[in-house]
Amino acid sequence: MLIDFRLVKNTYLVCGYTDLRKGIDGLASIVVNNYQLDLFSDSVFLFCGRRVDRFKALYFDGEGFILLYKRYDQGKLKWPRHEGEAKQ
């Protein structure tokens, strides 16, 4: 199955630090408990740890959850650590 994330309805960027040792269940609990968002909507949720060269994405494709992990070989992300930075 090929997913074009450009066509996903919502993209949520979770500000701050997330423990990237968490798997699907741990990241899903952050989305539900901290933000009261619907995991099963057409949304991708993005998380970053303390190291800004890697992030995780959580997405429900209608059949199950997909957990993506990206680590940059070179370069870093400019990840907002609080809501004010995200709005900028």
List, for residues 34-81, the tens digit of each pLDDT value.
999 999 999 999 999 999 999 999 999 999 999 999 999 998 888 888
List, for residues 5-24, the tens digit of each pLDDT value.
899 999 999 999 999 999 99
- Cβ 53 vs Cβ 77: under 8 Å: yes
Q: What's the pLDDT at 87?
A: 65
Q: Which residue has the higher pLDDT, 81 or 27?
A: 27
E strand or H helix at 35: helix 24-35
